[in-house]
Structure 1
Amino acid sequence: MVKIEIPARKTFFHTFIFFVCMSGTMVSNGQINPASPVDEVNSMIGTTGTNSTEYGGLIPTVAPPFAMTQWCAQTRESSISRTSYHYNDKTIMGFTATHQPAVWMGDYGMVTISPQSGTLFANRERAMTFSHQEEKSTPYGYSVTLNTANGGKIKARLSATSRAGLMEFTFPASDSSYIFIEASRQEKFIGWIKYDDKRNELIGYNPDRQSALLGPPLKNFKGYFVVQFNKRPASFGTTYRDDIFVGQTEQSGDRCGAFLRFITAQGDRIATRVGTSFISIDQARNNLNTEIPGWDVQTVMDKTKKEWNKYLGLISIRGGEKNERTVFYTALYRTMQYPREFSEYGRYYSAFDDIVHDGVSYNDFSLWDTFRAEHPLLNLLMPDRSGAMIQSLLQMYKEGGWLPKWPNPTYTNIMIATHADAVIADAMVKGIKGFDRSLAWEAVKKDAFVAPAGDSTNKWADRAPWTAYEARGGLTWYNQYGYIPSGCTNENVSETIEYSYDDWCVAQIARLTGHLSEFDFLMKRSKNYQHLYDRSSGFFISRYANGTFVSKEKSNEGMTEGSKWTYLFGAMHDIPALVQLMGGATAFEKLLNENFDSSHYHHDNEPGHHYIYLYNYINKPDSTRQKIYKYTPVNYRNTPDGLSGNDDCGQMSAWLVFTSMGFYPVCPGSTDYAVGVPLFDELKVTIASADLKSHTLVIRRKNFSPTHTKVKKVLIDGSAHQGLFFKHSELLKARKITFWMM
C-alpha cells in the first residue's frame, strides 16, 4: 500500500523495444538458471527510491522462507513509515532481529546486537561507517566491514534460521572490544535484560510494539530473547538510555541494554547467537538450541541456503538476460517471506486473546494487498502452507472475535474491507485443505452481516487511534442504502466497491458450504457497486443519502489511496457486467486505453494490478500483452530503486511472478486466470494439487523474437486452447503449455 498517488515515471530504464530485444537476444543463448537460484537474488532491490516512503520499502533480510524472525543490518531506527535499513544510509548501528513486515507497519519485539571498539556508546552514536563495496547480502547470509571511530575495522558476518540468528565479529587489537545489546527502545514500553555470568548468557524481553496505538492493548505481549557468546568477557555491564553501569548484571527501562567487554588481538573472532520467542525466555533458549546448536556461521548459511534453493527451485527458468532473471528470482524470494511463521514447535502466542495456545500459527497478513496475487500464488505452489495460513486466520477469529484486516501482530484497522474473505474464498474454490470449512463460513458470514461497534457514528479514518475493530466500517449504511453515502465514512466509494467484491467472495463460500439462501442474497448484494456509477461522468463517485451525486469538484472524494480512475475498474468480480455498465466493449476499451495513455494507471499501488489483464474480457489480448511488455520493465529493475512501489508483503512481487508465467488471477475467489504472455523461453513450475501431489508444468514460449511478440496460439499438452483464460483445474492437469509467437 502507498499513502499518496504519485505520477508515473517519465524516464524509463527500459523501453518496450529494449526489453524485447534483450530477451530475444538471450533466448538464443539458451541460458538456464543455476542449480542455486538463491544466488540469482538481489536482496537490495527495493531498498531505496526517489521518495522517502513510496518505494519498495524493503530491507535485505537474512532468514529462511516465512521465518518468524528476520535479521538485518540496522542503518536507522525503524518506525511506521521507516525501515531498519535504507540503501542510501552511510552508517550501521548494529544488527537487528526485526518483525517489521512492511514500511507502513510497525516493528515489534525487536532486539539489536552492536559490535563496538574503543568507546562504548549505548545510543545512536554507536553507528559506524561502511561501504557497499565491502558489503555482501544474500537471503542466507550477510557480511560487512565496519569502520570504527578510532580507525579500526570490525568485520561482521551473520546468518539465521526461523527463530534464531548467529553473528561472528572479527575485531581489531583492543582492550575495549564490545558487544552491546539493545534490549528495548520504545518510549514508555519497559524492557528488561540480565547477564547470567555462570551461563555467559544474556536474557531479556521487551513489549515494544510500534503499532500499539493502532490496535488493542496486549498486557502479556513480549518479545523474548536469549543471547549467548562463545568467549567469556573481561567485564560486563548494563545501560539505561545514555548511562553506562559497569559491573551491573540487570537493567530495566524503556531504553535499556547490556554489554560485554572483550580484550582482543588483531583478528580475534567472537561469535554471538540469539534465540527469539514470543512465548518465554525458556522457549527462546529452546529455539536457539534446536536451530543453531553450534557456532559456525557457514554451517547456518549452508542450511538456510539449501532451504531457499528448495523453495525457489519450485520455478526454474530458461532464457532472459541476467538482470531479468535476477529480478524474477528476487520477486519469487519476496513472495516467500510472508505471512510469517508465528508458532514455535507446536505452540504459539496469540495476540488476539493474549495467551499461549497449542498449534501452528502464521501472522503479518497484508490482506488488502496480498489477496490479489500473493495468496493465489501460494495456493498454486504450496497449498500445504496456504491451508495452515487460512487456519491461522480462523484461529484469530476464534481468539479475537473477528477475522483480521492487517494483523501486526494483533488487530489493526489499516486499509479497508474484509479481504480475509477473499483469501479464504480463493483457497476453498481451489480445494485447499488444512482448515475448518464450517468455521470459515461462520467467520466470513460475520464479516458480511455484522456491523462493527459504533458503526453509525464512526467514520473510520485511516490510522486513527484504536477504538474498536472496524471490519466493514459503514456496513450499517451499505445495508440501508445499497452503498455508503457521502460523509458516512472517509473512504465510502472504495469501500462500497470492495464490499461488493467481498460479498461475492463470501457468496462463493456460502455456495461451497451449502448455504444457498445466503449465496443468492450475497450475489445480488455484490452488485451494490453499481449504485455509485454516475453515467453522466462515467465514473464511480460519491453519492449522498438522498441519491444525488457529489459535484465534479468532489468526484475524487471517498477513495482509498487514489482517485476516481484508481477505482474505475475495481469491481474485479463482475467485469462482464462492468463492461456493459460502461456502454459495451468499445466504450470499455476506450476507457482502458485512456487509463493507461493518460498516466492514470499506477502500478506502484495494488488497486490497479489486474487492469492490464482486463483487455482479455473484451477479446483484445494483444493489448494486454503490449501493456505487459511496457509496464513490466518500468516497474521491476535490478537496482536498489528497482521496485516502483511498496512490495507489501509480496504482492508487487507476486504480480511479476504470475505475469512471467503467462497468466494472472484477475479475480481471486474464482478459478480463472487471464492469459498473458510468458516473459522467458521456458519456465518449469512445480505445481501442487490440494492433496499435495506435485507435478511439473512446463511453460514454453516458441518463435519469440523482437519481431515476433504477439501470441499466435496457445497449446495445452498439444491441443489448441480456446479462449483467453486458464482454469485452475487445467493447470493442475497440464504438463505442457506452449505459447507460439508470431
Structure 2
Amino acid sequence: MMNFRLIKFLVCIGVCCICSSCDENEGDKGLSGNNYLEYVDTRVGTAASIADITVTEVEEPMGYVSPIVGNPSALTHWTPQTAKWTDRVVTVPVPYWYDQEKIQGFRGTRYPNGAVVGDWGPMSLMPMTGEVNIDADERASKFSHDSEVAKPHYYSVQLDDYNIKAELTAAAKTGFFQFTYPESKSSSVVFDGVYVPGHYKVIPEKNEIEGYMVIAGHFRNHFVAKFDKEFDTYTIDLLPNVVDEKLVPNGFKAEYFNNDKLQGKPDVVKNYTKLNYNWLKEPAEGVKADFFSVRFTGIFVARHSGEHSFELTTKDGTRMYIDDQLVIDEWKYRATGTNIHKVNLTKGHEYKIRIEYYDGSSTTEMHLRCAEPVRPDPEMGAKLALEGADGNAVYVTFSTKNQEKVKMKVGTSLIDIAQARANMDEEFPDFDFDKAVTKSSGVWENELNLIQVEGSEDDKSIFYTALTKCFVNPRNLNEDGRYFSPFDYQVHEGQMYTDLSIWDTFRSLHPLWVLVKPEETTNVINGMLNAYEEGGWLPKWPNPWYRSIMMGTHADAVIADAYVKGIRGFDTDVAFESMLKNANEKGNRGFSGRVGIDHFNEIGYVPADVFGFYGEPVARTLEFSYDDYCIAQMAKALGKDDKYTEYMERSKRYINVLDKETGLVRGKKLNGEWLPPFDKSISVWAQGTDHDTEVYYRNHTLLVPHDIPGLADFMGGEDKLINYLDQFFEKDMYYVGDEFSMHAPYMYNSLGTPWKTQKVVRDMLAKYFFNDVGGLPGNDDCGQVSSWYVFGAMGFYPALPGDPVYQLCSPVFNKVRMNVGNGKVFTIIANNNSKENAYVQSATLNGKPYNLCYISHEAILEGSELVFEMGPEPNKAWGTSEQ
C-alpha cells in the first residue's frame, strides 16, 4: 500500500504557532493542541477505490472529492481544477481527478465535496506565461503529483508548461494565491466562470478586478481580485450575441412535455423571440417543475458567410440539431454546462435549428448565443474592461523577473461586490502570504484537535484525513452577520447553511457535530428554520436552494436528534410545526417534500405503480416511517404525548412493503398487489445485473433502524435476522459506499451478539479505508462516509439518530480523547489492542465494570472514561446485559 502522508511538511508552520492558536480556546476545548495537519492528505478519495467494493452498475466507487482549501464550512473553497466534466458512470462537475495529467486552473468552488450534484457559482483562475489562452483545455498545464502539497489550509504545485509554482491558502470567503513566475514579458492571470459567462471590470489604479457570475438567474457570485503588482495590459473576451429576432426572425416554437422523454403530444406550446432564460421552477404554466422535456424549433437566417460559433448553455440533458444533423449531445448531471459548435454558414441561407432539452431536478437554464464571422474591434475588450462588461473571461498581463512572486487575493460574496471586498480585507488584510498560511493552519489544527487519537501512524493518517472531510460541509453563507437567502433572494440577518446532503449526513455526520460542534449545530438548525420561513419548507438537499432529489425529509432526524441530545437555542415551536408539515403536506414552490405522502397517509405505503423508478416507492415508505419515528421523539421531548403516540404508530408503516414470500422489501401496487419479486422497475438503483438488483433489495430490507425488534419479528425471530445479517456480510452484499444500511453492522448489538458488530466493523474499516488516493470506498457525500469511518474507528456509532444512545464496537485506536465542551473530555482506552485483538473481553466505565454494548449521550457529555480490555477471541458474555 502506498503511504500518502507527505514527508515534506507544508510551509512555514511552526508547532509553537499552532499550539498558541489552540491555546486561545483551551478552556473550552479541554484538550491541549497537537500537530495533526501533517497526517492529512486531501487527495485521498480523488481516485477510484483500491478496495474490492460491492457496487452496482449505476454507481462507481469514487470518492468524488477534491483537494480543497479553505476554512471549515467556507462560503467558497478553492481547489486545483483538472477538468470541468468527466466521462464516467455519472458525469459530474468534480473539479479534480487524480488520474488526469493537467491542471486547467484553480477553482473557487461550491461543489459539495463528495456528492453528485452541481457546482453552483464557481469561478476559476489560471496563471500563465506567453500567449493568453482562455480555453480551459488548451491552457491546461502538465504537472507532477510529486510536486503537490495538499492540505486543507494550503496547496501547492508546479505548473510545468509555464514553469510557475502556484501556492494557495484560503479562509472562509477569500482565497490567497502566490505565483512564482519565471522571467517573462508576458506573464498573466486569466479569470472565468467555469460553466457560465461573467461580468468583469478591471480597476488598474487599484490593481483590482471585480465582477460576478449569475447563478441560475437568481443571484450572483461576486468577487474582487487584488494583486500586489501593477497590470501592463488587460482585456475582456466578449460574449457572442444572443440569438434573437435578428437571426431567427420568426422566433422559436417551444413544445413542452410533462415527461423527460419528449413522449406523446405536447402539454404546453409557447413561442419565444430568443432562448435566454433561467427558470427557478416550472418554465411555463402547466409544465412540471422537474423531469419535463421541451423541443425548441426555429429558422436561423445567416447574415454573413463564414464560420459561426454557437454557444449553448443549459442544465441536465441537451441535444442540438442544425438542419436535422446532431451537433451537440450532452448530459450534465444536476449541473450547468456550456457547449460550443462551430459551423460554416452562407449569407441569406435558412437553417433549421432544433434543441431538445431534458430536465432533471432543480432549476432550468437555456441560453443560445452565436458569434458571427465579423471582425471585432481589437481594442474593444480593453475599453469595456474599464467600464465593466459581460464576457467569457477577463485577463491581466505583466512582466516578471525570474522567481518573482506575485501575490493575489480573491474575496467572494453572495451579497454584493462591496461585501466581497470587505470579506477580503477582513480575512487577509495584507499581502503576507506566509502569515496567511499560518493563520489558516491554526484554524484547522483547532478543528482536528477536537478529537485526539493514539495508534499507528497509518491509522492516524486515515483518521485525520477523514475528520477533515467531516468539517468541509455544510456551507456557511453568513457574511458579517448577514446572508443572501437562496430561498427568497433577499439579504437577511442570522444564519443560513446550504450544501446539506441531509439524506446522507443525518446518519452520522450531524451526530458527530452534536458532540464536537454543539454551538454550530444550533446555527445549522436555525439556518434550516430560516429556510422554512423564507421558502416554506425545511431544506432537504439544498444546493443552494431546494433540490427535488433523494427520499424522505431527514431534516426531521437532524432536528430531533439534536434536541433529544440537549441542543438548544432554536425555536422548537417553529421546528415542530415544520416537521409536521413535512409529514402531512405535498411539496410545492420547487420543493418535492415527501413524494407520495398523500398515499402514505391514506393507504400506509407509497404505491410502486404510481411512483415507480424515479419515485423510489419502497425506499420512501421506509424512510417516511423512520422520519415519523423522529417526529415522535421530538414530540415526546416536548411533552406532546398525543403526537408521540400518533407518530410512533405511523413509524410502523414500513411493514407494508415487507413481503413474507421473499422475506425482503417489495414494491406494492395501489390495489395491494405485489410487483414481481426483484422487479427492477422498483428503483433507478435496482438497475444493472440481477446481482445488482438483489444487492438493492437486501440493503433496503434493513432500512428499519428504529424498529429492529419489529424487523426481527417479520424475519421470524432474532435468530433469523442474525442469520440474514451473517449471510449479508459473508456474501459481500453490504455496500459501504452508500447509506441505505450504514447502521447494519451495529444491528448485531440489538440482537444480543455484540461480538459480531465488533468483528464486522473492524474488518470493514481495514478492508475499505486506506491512506491512499483510492482510500475511500465510494462517494463521500459531504463527509458522511468519512464520519462513518471516524465513529467506527473511535469505537462507537449513532446507529439510530433520534435516540440519545450510541452502539459500541471495536476501537481501532489504543486511546481516543474527544472534546465534548465545558472542559470535559470523553476518553476511550483499548488495552492490549491490535489488529488480531479485535474483540472486547471486558470494560469499565469510570472505573466500574460495564457490561452494556451501548453508551448514553449523557455519559459521553459527562466526560466519562470507557476502558476496553481487548483479545483475539470473542467474549460472548460481554455486552449482553439489557441495562
Indicate whether the TM-score tops 0.5.
yes
| 1:451–1:476 CA contact under 8 A, matched in 2 | yes
Q: Is contact 1:186–1:255 with CA below 8 Å preserved after alignment?
A: no
Match of 1:195 among 180, 184, 202: 202
CA 1:69 to 1:741, structure 2 compared with 1: closer, same or farther past 3 Å?
A: same
Instruction: Report the secondary structure of 2:534's partner residue.
Output: helix
How far did 1:163 drift? 0.4
1:259-278 to 2 correspondences below 5 Å: 259-278=395-414
Contact 1:53 1:81 in 2 (8 A): no
**In structure 2, how many angstroms separate the alpha carbons of the residues matched to 1:633 and 1:281?**
48
Q: Does 1:109 align with 2:109?
A: no
Counterpart of 1:531, as a letter, is: N
The match for 1:126 is 139
- Secondary structure of 1:587's counterpart equals helix
Deviation at 1:712, TM superposition (A): 1.1
Name 2:617's counterpart in structure 1: 492
Per the alignment, do residues 729 and 192 of structure 1 end up closer, same or farther by CA in structure 2, a change over 3 Å counting? same
2:84 to 77, 82, 87: 77
Q: Which letter maps to 2:454?
A: R
Distance of aligned partners of 1:637 and 1:600 in 2 relative to their CA distance in 1, 3 Å threshold: same
2:446 is aligned, of 310, 314, 327, to 310
Q: What letter is aligned with 2:237? A: T
1:186 aligns with 2:186: no
> What is the aligned-residue RMSD (CA, Å)?
2.2
Q: Tell me how far apart the structure 1 counterparts of residues 835 and 165 of structure 2 sit (CA, whole Å).
A: 47
Say whether residues 1:638 and 2:638 are aligned partners. no
Identify which of 164, 169, 179 aligns with 2:174. 164
Quick one: which of 603, 611, 622 aligns to 2:744?
Answer: 611
Matched pairs, number: 681
Partner residue in 2 for 1:18: none
- Which residue does the alignment assign to 1:91? 102
Structure 1 pair 39/480, CA: closer, same or farther in 2 (3 Å)?
same
**SS at structure 2 position matched to 1:207:** strand
Task: Find the counterpart in structure 1 of residue 672 from structure 2.
Answer: 547
Which secondary structure does the structure 2 equivalent of 1:722 belong to? Answer: coil
**Which amino acid letter does the alignment assign opposite residue 591 of structure 1?**
Y
1:293-340 CA-partner distances (Å, limit 9, x unpaired):
1112211110010111111001111122x2211000011111111111
**Which residue among 61, 70, 74 is the counterpart of 1:63?**
70
Quote how far apart the aligned CAs of 1:706 are: 5.1
CA shift for structure 1 position 452: 2.5
- Residue 713 of structure 1 corresponds to 842
- Alpha-carbon offset, residue 191 of structure 1: 2.3
Three-state SS of the structure 1 residue aligned to 2:697 is: coil
Contact 1:93 1:126 in 2 (8 A): yes
> What's the TM-score once normalised by structure 2's chain length?
0.75
Q: What do the CA deviations read for 1:508-530 (whole angstroms, capped 9, x no partner)?
A: 11222233222211110100000
> What is residue 238 of structure 2 aligned with on the other side?
240
Q: CA-to-partner distance for each residue in 1:576-617, whole Å, 9 max, x for gaps?
A: 221122111110111001111122111011112111111111
Whether 2:826 is the aligned partner of 1:697: answer yes
Correspondence 1:257 to 2:393:
yes
**One-letter code aligned to 1:397:** Y
Give the distance between the partners of 2:740 and 2:851, measured in 1 at CA. 29
SS of 1:564's equivalent?
Answer: helix
SS at match of 1:198: helix
Deviations 1:451-495 (A, max 9, x none): 225xxxxxxxxxxxxx84210000011111111112121210000
Give the whole-Å Cα distance in 2 for the aligned partners of 1:530 and 1:336: 36
- List per-residue Cα deviations over 1:94-137 (Å, max 9, x = no partner): 11111111441111222212101011101121111111111111
The one-letter code matched in structure 1 to 2:814 is D
1:41-86 CA deviation, whole Å, 9 max, x = no partner? Answer: 1111001116995411100011122211111111111586231111
Superposed CA offset, 1:355-384 (max 9, x none): 110112221100000000000000011100
Question: For 1:185 and 1:600, how far apart are their aligned partners in 2?
Answer: 39
Q: Is the 8 A contact 1:185 1:256 kept in 2?
A: no
Q: Work out the CA distance in 1 between the residues paired with 2:135 and 2:724.
A: 55
Structure 1 residue 506 and structure 2 residue 631: aligned?
A: yes
Confirm or deny: 8 A CA contact 1:236 1:249 kept in the other structure.
Answer: no
Helix, strand or coil: the match of 1:573? coil
Q: Kindly state the Cα deviation for residue 255 of structure 1 after the two structures are TM-superposed.
A: 5.3
Counterpart CA distance in 2 for 1:632 and 1:240 is 52
Mapped partners of 2:836, 2:513: distance in 1:
35
Q: 1:181 to 1:705 in 2, by over 3 A?
A: closer
Q: Is this contact kept in 1: 2:84–2:194, CA < 8 A? A: no
Taking the aligned partners of 1:517 and 1:705, their CA distance within structure 2 comes to 50
CA contact (8 A) 1:186 1:254 kept: no
Identity %: 33
Match of 1:147 in 2: 160
Q: Does 1:327 align with 2:462?
A: yes
Q: Deviations over 1:695-729 (max 9, x none)?
A: 11221001224553311112110112232111111
Q: Aligned residue for 2:222?
A: 224
When normalised by structure 1's length, the TM-score is 0.89
CA contact (8 A) 2:166 2:179 kept: yes
What is the Cα deviation at residue 533 of structure 1? 1.2
Separation in 2 of the partners of 1:310 and 1:270? 30
Instruction: Decide whether the 8 Å contact of 2:762 with 2:838 is kept in 1.
Output: no
Displacement of 1:33 in angstroms is 12
Alpha carbons 2:35, 2:445 under 8 Å: kept:
yes
CA distance in 1, matches of 2:761, 2:2: 15
Q: Which residue of 2 aligns with 1:39?
A: 38
Structure-1 separation of matches of 2:458 and 2:824: 28
Match for 1:532: what amino acid?
A: V
Quote how far apart the aligned CAs of 1:686 are. Answer: 0.7
- Gap change, CA 1:154 and 1:559, over 3 Å in 2: closer
5+ residue gaps in structure 2?
A: 4-30, 50-56, 241-375, 687-694, 872-883
Q: Give the number of the structure whose alpha-carbon radius of gyration is greater.
A: 2
Shift of 1:390: 0.6
Q: 1:725 aligns with which of 848, 854, 872?
A: 854
The whole-number CA distance in structure 1 between the counterparts of 2:625 and 2:793 is: 30
Is 1:352 the counterpart of 2:487? The answer is yes
Which residue of the partner structure matches residue 260 of structure 2?
none
The SS at the match of 2:866 is strand
Alignment map for 1:585-664 (pairs within 5 Å): 585-664=718-797
Aligned residue for 1:694, secondary structure, equals: coil
- 1:46-57 aligned within 5 A: 46-49=45-48, 54-57=61-64
Equivalent residue number for residue 682 of structure 1: 815
- Among residues 424, 440, 459, which one is paired with 2:559 in the alignment? 424
CA distance in 1 between counterparts of 2:859 and 2:756 reads 24
Q: Please give the alpha-carbon distance, in whole angstroms, between the structure 2 residues aligned to 1:298 and 1:53.
A: 40
**Per-residue deviation, 1:557:** 1.7
CA distance in 1, matches of 2:685, 2:509: 20
Name the residue aligned to 1:8: none
CA shift in 2, pair 1:559/1:615, >3 Å: farther
Match of 2:426 in 1: 290
| Counterparts of 1:421 and 1:255, CA distance in 2 | 43
Amino acid at match of 1:372: R
Find the aligned partners of 1:556 and 1:40 in 2 and give their Cα distance. Answer: 45
Structure 1 residue runs without a partner (length 5+): 1-11, 15-31, 210-217, 454-466
The answer to whether the 8 A contact 2:607-2:670 is kept is yes
For 1:594 and 1:267, how far apart are their aligned partners in 2?
A: 62
- Aligned with residue 604 of structure 2, among 482, 489, 506: 482
Q: Give the whole-Å Cα distance in 2 for the aligned partners of 1:252 and 1:578.
A: 64
Aligned to 2:515: 380
Which shifted more, 722-731 or 243-252? 243-252
2:11 — aligned with what? none
Q: Per-residue CA shift, 1:125-177, capped at 9, x if unaligned?
A: 111111111111111111111122xxx40111111110001101111111111
**CA distance 1:679–1:553, change in 2 (3 Å):** closer
